[in-house]
C-alpha cells in the first residue's frame, strides 16, 4: 500500500470519529492500568461491568489493597483468568506504592516491570493516559493492518513497528483507537463487513476479493 492511500484511510477515520478513545471505563491513569490488565483475553464490556462494582470505592492502589486479594478475586470472578489477574493487580498496587509513590509510571520500562503488564498494556497506558504516540497491537489491529495491507507483518512487534513508521505523524496518536474500533465492528475476523466499510475502496483485501 502506498503512502497516499494510507493518508486517505486515516483522514477518513478522523473525519468519521475525530476523538476516538478506549471503550474501557476509567477516571484516572491507575484505573486505566487496572482495567487494561483485566482486559487480557476478556471483553471491554465484561471488564467495565466488573470495575463498576469496585472502582467507585476502591479505585486507588491503597483502596485495592484494602479490598484485599480475596475481595478483589470475588469482584472480578466473571472475567477470564480472574485468579491470576487478581494476584497481579494486588502486587502491582504494592509496587506502585513502594516504588512510584502510588502513581502510574510514564515510561515503558517501569510499566513492563509491573505484574501482568506486557508491551501491549504498556502501550495502551502510554497512549491513552499520557498522550504518547504508541500503538498497542492486539488481535484486531494485527488483523486489520495485515488484511488491508496498511502494514503487514508476521509478528505483533513487526506490525507495531511498521505502523509507527508508515502512519502519517498527525494521525499517529489516535491510530491505535481507530484501528481497534475498525477491527472490532467492521473488519471483523470471520466475515468483514466490506459493504459498510468507509475505506473499502482503498483496502487491498477488498479489492482482491468479492464484496
Span 23-36, mean pLDDT? 97
Answer yes or no: pTM beyond 0.85: yes
Q: What percent of the chain has pLDDT over 90?
A: 95
- Say whether pLDDT at 207 is over 70: no
pLDDT digits (tens, 9 = 90+) for 101-131: 999 999 999 999 999 999 999 999 999 999 9
Query: What integer pLDDT is reported at residue 47 of this predicted model?
Result: 97
Taking CA atoms, 165 is separated from 11, 123, 168, in Å, by 17, 16, 8
pLDDT digits (tens, 9 = 90+) for 33-58: 999 999 998 999 999 999 999 999 99
Domains, the chain: 3-20+135-196 (1.10.1670.10), 29-128 (1.10.340.30)
Res. 86 pLDDT band, cuts 50 70 90: very high
Residues marked active site are found at 120, 138
Nearest to residue 42, comparing CAs of 23, 29, 61, 57? 23
Res. 209 pLDDT band, cuts 50 70 90: very low
Amino acid at each position: 500500500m502506498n503512502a497516499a492511500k494510507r493518508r486517505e484511510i486515516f483522514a477518513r477515520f478522523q473525519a468519521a470519529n475525530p476523538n476516538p478513545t478506549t471503550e474501557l471505563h476509567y477516571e484516572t491513569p491507575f484505573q486505566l492500568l487496572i482495567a487494561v490488565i483485566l482486559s487480557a483475553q476478556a471483553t471491554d464490556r465484561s471488564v467495565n461491568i466488573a470495575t463498576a462494582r469496585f472502582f467507585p470505592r476502591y479505585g486507588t492502589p491503597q483502596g485495592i489493597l484494602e479490598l484485599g486479594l480475596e475481595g478483589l478475586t470475588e469482584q472480578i470472578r466473571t472475567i477470564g483468568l480472574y485468579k491470576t489477574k487478581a494476584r497481579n493487580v494486588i502486587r502491582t498496587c504494592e509496587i506502585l506504592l513502594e516504588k512510584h509513590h502510588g502513581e502510574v509510571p510514564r515510561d515503558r520500562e517501569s510499566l513492563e516491570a509491573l505484574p501482568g503488564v506486557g508491551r501491549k498494556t504498556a502501550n495502551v497506558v502510554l497512549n491513552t493516559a499520557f498522550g504518547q504516540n504508541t500503538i498497542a497491537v492486539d488481535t484486531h489491529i494485527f488483523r486489520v493492518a495485515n488484511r488491508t495491507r496498511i502494514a503487514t507483518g508476521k509478528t505483533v512487534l513487526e506490525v507495531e513497528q511498521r505502523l509507527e513508521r508508515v502512519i502519517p505523524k498527525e494521525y499517529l496518536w489516535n491510530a491505535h483507537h481507530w484501528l481497534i474500533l475498525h477491527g472490532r465492528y467492521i473488519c471483523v475476523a470471520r466475515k468483514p463487513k466490506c459493504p459498510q466499510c468507509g475505506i473499502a475502496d482503498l483496502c487491498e483485501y477488498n479489492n482482491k476479493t468479492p464484496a
